[in-house]
Amino acid sequence: MKTVQEIRQAIARGEWRKPTAGLAPGFIQANLVILEKRYAFDFLLFCQRNEKACPVIDVCESGEVAPQLAGPRADVRIHVPRYRIYRKGVLAEEPGDILAYFNDEMVSFFLGCSFSFEHDLIANGIPVRHIELGCNVPMYITNRECRPAGVFSGPMVVTLRPIPEDRVDDAAAITAKHRKAHGAPLHVGDPAALGIRDVQKPDFGDPPEIRPGEVPVFWACGVTPQAALMRAKLDLVITHAPGYMFITDVPDVLES
């Protein structure tokens, strides 16, 4: 699989049901949130107030399945490897498509993802451990509250990547250019400062492998809205499963 379209076709056929880290270098990957139109403004405002965690890439009109900017040939109902269905804030199931759940009242939001900057780290000689190991990035719910908006409030979620101590500044400078992929790190060092008691027990994803001479570095994460959606306890919300992203047609253009 080389092109975005080829990757989407493999996902739609059920041939790719793994995390999407490392796929489609040069194109933005996106977190997905689908909710009823009546909550769309509140959610957009939540994203605007918490742009570090929720950088908006595109928003569909209600009932629209192909995001005009992020993927005009895509179908939001079938082009994510694994979805999550939340009912009243509780995870109900993780289907491979959402054809049975999507309706004309649904609005789809596409939010930037830190997977998009990983190819830049690798190109600059900085290892990305979960890609090396073929597993999912570790994600943690922190003690930092987001700015609320309407019915939405909740804690910030972060991803962790172990970075060699002498490359932390380089990693920060490289990722800062990827503003739509969460930008520079949120925190470097002691996980306890974020309220994380045990890095080997992530809330989402797989435990990290931190080697001697490496420092835990944390970036804001687009799973943050899932924590807010669980707290809001809406009747029905659809998201991607953490780490199983929507791959957009949007080139990852760096910002100086």
Mean pLDDT value across residues 197-211: 96
Cα torsion 138, 141, 146, 152: sign? positive
Q: Where are the domains of the chain?
A: 4-114+231-249, 126-220
Q: Number of helices and strands (H, E) in the chain?
A: 6, 11
CA distance readout (Å), 87 to 20, 57, 84, 190, 235: 25, 25, 10, 35, 5
Mean pLDDT value across residues 22-28: 88
CATH number for 4-114+231-249: choose from 3.40.50.300, 3.40.1640.10, 3.30.43.10, 3.40.1180.10: 3.40.1640.10
pTM of the model: 0.90
Question: 256 pLDDT exceeds 50?
Answer: no
Provide the angle, in degrees to the nearest 10, between the axes of the packed helices 168-176 and 115-123: 130
Please name the amino acid found at residue 154.
G
Binning pLDDT at 50, 70 and 90, where does residue 10 land? Answer: very high
Question: 32 pLDDT exceeds 50?
Answer: yes
pLDDT at 254: 56
Q: Compute the distance between CA of residue 81 and CA of residue 110 in angstroms, rounded to an integer.
A: 15
Question: 128 pLDDT exceeds 80?
Answer: yes
CATH number for 126-220: choose from 3.30.2040.10, 3.40.50.2020, 3.90.1150.10, 3.40.640.10: 3.30.2040.10
